[in-house]
Amino acid sequence: MLITNLMDTVKYDTSLFKSLYHLRWGIEENYKRLKQWVEIENFSGKSALSVKQNFYAKIWHLI
């Protein structure tokens, strides 16, 4: 179920969505930074295996 499907304003108070969005904002920003750090658009291949290898190589580099 999506928030956009919750049209009943009596059953679902719209003020709740503001606080939920605020809670999600930090997660979205961290996800954006992770994507930039991993350079998600610059993987060396297009297969699932090559993407996985690139990701783990980047993580391994941190250790």
And the tokens for 57? 């190589």
Tell me: the pLDDT tens digits for 14-24? 787 788 888 88
Segments making up each domain of the chain, as ranges? 11-62
Q: Are 12 and 6 in contact (CB under 8 A)?
A: yes
Alpha helix segments (H runs only) across the chain: 14-38, 48-62
Residue 29: partners with Cβ closer than 8 Å, 6 or more residues away? none
Residue 62: its pLDDT value, please? 67
DSSP code for 42: G
Average the pLDDT over 10-14 and give the result: 81
The pLDDT value recorded for residue 49 is 93
Q: Is the four-CA dihedral 29, 35, 39, 41 of positive or negative sign?
A: negative
